[in-house]
Structures are given as C-alpha cells and as structure tokens.
Amino acid sequence: MKGIFPKLVVVALALTFVVGADAIAQEKRIGTSAASELLIPIGARYIAMGGAPIATVSGVEALYWNPAGLARSQYSADAMFSHNEHIANINVNYAALGIRFGNIGSFGFSVKALDLGDIKETTEIAPDGTGALISPQFVTVGMTYARALTDRISVGTTFTFISEDLQTARASARGVAFDFGVQYNDLASINGLSLAVAIKNLGPSMSFGGSGLLRDSQPTGIDRGSSPLEVVTQSDELPSYIVLGASYKFSVGELSSVELVSTFQDNNFDNDTGNFGGEYNYNDLFFGRLGYTFAPDETDNNFIFGFTAGAGIHYDFSSIGISVDYAYRDVDTFDSQNIIQVKLGF
C-alpha cells in the first residue's frame, strides 16, 4: 500500500497536466496577457543553461522553475538573491528562502520586484504626455510547498500573489497564480536520467481599477449635474504555459561531471520554445555553463532571445555553503542581459 500511493499521485498529476495542456493549447495571442512579469526568469545558474533545468533544478532556485525541486535541496535551509538587468532598462530583483521540515515537506517564500523607473504619464486627452511622471510598482510574492514522495519522485506547488500599481495614476491590478510540478529522477533505473513536467501561471484574469479611472460624466435626458463614472478596463488572462523537460548527468573522470538539459515549452501567449543547455562541474567547486533558446514556429524573426552562457563558484565554509553565479543572455534589439546570483545554504 505504501508503494501504491506515490504512483497514484503521479498518475493524478499526469492527468492534471494533460487537462491543463489541453486548456492552454489554443491560438497564440502574443503580447496580450496580463502580468507578463511572471515570465521573467530568475537566477543566473539556470538562465545560463538556456532556461532548461526543470528536471534537475533543486533547492531554493526551484521556486521559479519547478516547485517540485524544492524538496531536493542538499541543505536544510537555503536562501538566494538575484539581480537581472532586463530589457528596456528594467531591473528585476528577486529574493527567496526555502526550508525543509523533515517528513512534512519543504516550504519556500519568494519575492520578485521590478524597477521600471519613471514613465511619462499620458491620457486620452494628453496623448503626448501630461508633464507628470508615474512610477509603476510591480511585485509578485510566492509561497511554495514541495515533498519527496520517494527517493525518485517529488512534487510541488506554488501560490503567487500578483500586485501591479500605477501609483501616480491611481490605478492598480491584483491577481493570483498557481504552479504545479513533478520531477522523476533516475528514470527506468538509469542513473543520472531525469524527467519533469510543470504547469505555470494558472489563475483568473486580471484587470485594472482605481480612482484614476474615474471620469466626469453628464447623463443625457436627466436634469442633474455631472457625476463620476469609472471606466471599466478589459480583463486579460495570465500567461499560462506547460513545460516538459529531460536531463542526463554523467561523470567525466573522478572530479568532473557534465549535465545536459532540454525542455519544450508550450506557451499560451507567446511562441513555443525549445531550450537546451549544459553544465560542466569540477569537483563541485567551479561551474561552466552554456545554453540556447529558440522558437521553432517563429516566422517573422521577432523572437529576441538565443545564446546564453555563464559561470559559477561554490564553496562550503564549515556548515554554510556559498555560491556565486553569473549569466550572460544575448538579446536582439535590446541590450544583452547580465544576471548575478548569490546563494547561501545552511
């Protein structure tokens, strides 16, 4: 009976993923989703590997890529901070914490904040600008639970609260999203072979509201003064997607190993992508990484991402592990991205 439970969970998750994939497999509506900040990847290590780590990502870094990996941390607690110079001069700061509580499972907490700078305010009356500036505040807060069902199978889920504030414009939007993931390591008893699947950003549509959307209105056919009327904005769906991943890790000599990773990502509001990457590990001390992302259905050369590379170092000081990682992400049209990550394990 004990061995049947994990299998039933995996079957149930597989059915959930199939239903979810069918629900989000529809005509692409590129650039029309709400909360596109959910799609901004985090963490230098796995961005350098082409964003294809979902089968083997572990610890606190898994909170974004695949929540199931949180249950496979080598530490009882780990924390990380990442800074990303994103496109269009948008700075993305990310902090996360993961803690394991024995057989209960692992819990994680994460915050992603976007610094968009000051933007000129425009209105329907002043399309060229009012002379004022707005300072958008986009923040997502995630809470994750993961558990290893066996020594090979782990599952996880993340609840994300989304907040978008146009403070000067007095308008805001709120939303929630859910992620689900599963990892299967040493598939078919092949040491180093792993598979995974994750569904990201499932949730209700979002829309903006607030006092900044109030307009004076004069009703027709009624003898009365003007009164405020709120403009109702359109609701937009979250950028849901399903991603399937595989990896294979093998030793090279006594001190080195190589990990090869790949994913296929079926996006609801963007072109589908294929992601490939690899990591060279020398004695768990130095890491070199390469990756590549492409959109097989792209016909207008609008897909702006491609080559990635990076490196990292790791060292254990007594009972504390410290990792510092860097990633370079080539981007067309915009400046290329530089991502820095620091991680601590306890």
Per-residue pLDDT at 17 exceeds 90: no
> How far apart (Å, rounded) are the C-alpha atoms in residues 158 and 63?
7
Retrieve residue 78's tokens.
């780990």
Retrieve residue 287's tokens.
């890491």
Provide the number of structural domains found in the chain: 1
pTM as predicted: 0.85
Q: How confident is the model at residue 297 (pLDDT cuts 50, 70, 90)?
A: confident
Q: How confident is the model at residue 2 (pLDDT cuts 50, 70, 90)?
A: very low
> How far apart (Å, rounded) are the C-alpha atoms in residues 175 and 238?
9
- Over the stretch 306-337, which tens digit does the pLDDT of each residue have? 999 999 999 998 889 999 999 999 998 888 99
Domain that holds residue 194: 4-345
- Beta-bridge partner residues of 212: none
Which CATH number fits the domain that encloses residue 147?
2.40.160.40
The pLDDT value given to residue 44? 95
